[in-house]
Chain A
């Protein structure tokens, strides 16, 4: 499988009143052709910033891309703006987190679909054309395009797919709006899809419907996908590979089976243990909070919360990613380059032990994001 997207050493800072926030600290990420990659991590660890930087909607300022490359089929999107524009227009699409705010409130679904189908990728549009559109001539969906929309809506299980074109977003429920957003992203037949927590704003039953639909679309259109989520269950359901992200750094990269079978990075272990299990009342978790980005911890950014923290080692230098025997990458000094999986697994078992007390701290101190165990399992 050839890589379709390669992100290398991406660093993004944010200018705020408190100072420069070093939000992304050297992200490396690869998505292969036809692969679904999930980025998981707590709220506020830089997942969405990564997604936005890739598709080019990062607000600059306050954001600032300090270094790094985002190569899409070999072209660097950060240095070549024309290529970035073309790729964004023709090959990438994005589904957003909150369907309530990501649709224009003052136009019908049909108008938006028509604009996307007719004008997507156009560099500019003449005033004449806009005036003609405004007074209602031109820019209607052609019969064929209308058919395409209806077909897409049907595939996304939208009831009354014909009538929805004349509806305003305000007339639709959250689940419907999210389906419409998905339709808008997919109608242009992209190769690459970025989904930024598209089911977070929805209730559990709708969430699982949308996920099923999305999985089906991904398979059918052979999409390469980056799926951003803080919900491990969702990642498990959709992803081929998972990037565990912590505080702007990649902690662990593994296939979905590898990660759920045996997480190696202490943070991954903590995340997985935070998932409530039906058989036990006590789940274990990670104490503390995501660090302050203006003055992040030296060395491994996870070390203040890490149960296996080694003084003098972890807090000195940024940890390189070690490739283990099974091909996964872990950025943790517990392991060594090329270490075989059994050895690594036994280290993980013996060295990384979360205590209940830390869990309680985590629950008490948690203000910034939702603790993992409160999230809805799809």
Chain B
């Protein structure tokens, strides 16, 4: 079986997962206590007004009709009106999500960029200085609560040293909106002042957010690298007289990368949900912060929208991870679990 059919099969498999996700979110929203119409109108509205709104919102329809209506709306980019902003949730998501995604992708990029070399250094110097240093950094990364790390970083680098801006996404006029990703937008607009400012604003929150996944990636890379290094084929390559660097960074790294990839995928989904702590500390106008506010204000449409988007990103990231598995390891493509 070729790579293309593997890819196709994996992609098709995500459709039922996505439908399951919408169903789950929909049902969850319907079984939650509280009447959305009552919440929308406030405690002083008359019962008649609430009943009228219930009919208008379709809450009196049978559940499956409601679900179909919900799905129909989704397909047209309609997620219902958010009470807090009085706009369609879809518009809000488009407005806020790029900020979060930009932050999380940058953080993940940093985590991988530093985590993998850290893990390899640790593995190649097992139980020696390099390993212990890397372990120290990793333990610091996982054991530090992200909001605490964020506040410390903000205090030290932004306030005390004044090296980087303490909050917000950009310090100059923002470039014209193409994608909502300021890095991409400012490159499209060839506005390098905006690009510089964007990167400066992004650096601290992304770094704070990257600490925990970086530690995960480093530890996972280390352990799978060591495990893979003990495989028989590495001994065989050694007797073939290949240079050590080639064996380590080509053969062992590629074979050991699958488990690192799993962690990257999981952490990515986790970061999108968990980014709000960092977003609040750095006043980052992102979707996570929007979602937390929606939860606190009982804004059911907005909560559903945010959860759906985070879930969808999680599905997509895991699809990408699965595809990369197949790309890295032919055994996955051939549907074989191990070499035996």
Binding site for B on A (CB under 8 A): 55-57, 85, 88-90, 92-94, 96, 98, 100-107, 115-116, 119-125, 130, 133-134, 168-171, 181, 184-185, 188
Contacts and interface: CB of A to CB of B under 8 A. Distances in A.
Nearest to A134: B250
Contacts of B245: 124-125, 130
A314 B245 CA distance: 51
Given A89-B241, A107-B251, A185-B240, 7 more contacts: A57-B239, A92-B239, A101-B232, A106-B254, A169-B339, A170-B336, A188-B241
Contact of B232 (A98, A116, A171, A188): A98
B246 interface: yes
Interface in B212-239: 231-233, 235-239
B243 A119 contact: yes
B241 A121 contact: yes
Contacts of B340: 100
A96 B232 contact: yes
B328 interface: yes
A173 B249 CA distance: 28
B176 interface: no
B7 interface: no
Contacts of A116: 240, 242
10 contacts: A85-B241, A92-B239, A102-B235, A106-B329, A115-B246, A122-B242, A124-B245, A125-B243, A130-B245, A168-B330
A273 to B, nearest CB: 34
A93 B250 contact: no
B334 A170 contact: yes
Nearest to A86: B241
Contacts of B237: 104
Nearest to B331: A170
B329 A105 contact: yes
A98 B235 CA distance: 12
Nearest to B336: A170
* 3 nearest A-B pairs in the assembled complex, by CB-CB distance: A89-B241, A168-B330, A101-B232
Contacts of B339: 100-101, 105, 169-170
Nearest to B256: A106
B121 interface: no
Nearest to A187: B240
Interface of B: 231-233, 235-246, 249-251, 254-255, 328-331, 334, 336, 339-340
A104 B233 CA distance: 6
Nearest to B329: A106
B232 A102 contact: yes
A170 B330 CA distance: 7
B331 A105 contact: yes
Contact of B239 (A94, A105, A130, A170): A94
A125 B241 contact: no
A103 B249 CA distance: 16
Contact of B242 (A105, A115, A168): A115
A171 B239 contact: no
A181 B236 CA distance: 9
A119 B243 CA distance: 7
Contacts of B233: 101-105
Contacts of B236: 94, 96, 102-103, 181, 184
B243 A104 contact: no
Identify which of B241, B244, B339 gathers the most chain A CB atoms within 10 Å of its CB: B241
Nearest to B252: A104
Nearest to B338: A105
Contacts of B250: 115, 130, 133-134
A130 B246 CA distance: 7
A105 B243 contact: no
A93 B246 contact: no
B316 to A, nearest CB: 25
Nearest to B242: A119
Given A101-B339, A106-B255, A120 B330 contact: no
A10 to B, nearest CB: 18
Given A106-B255, A106-B328, A106-B329, A120 B232 contact: no
Given A102-B236, A130-B250, A169-B339, A123 B243 contact: yes
Contacts of B328: 106
Contact of A101 (B231, B239, B242): B231
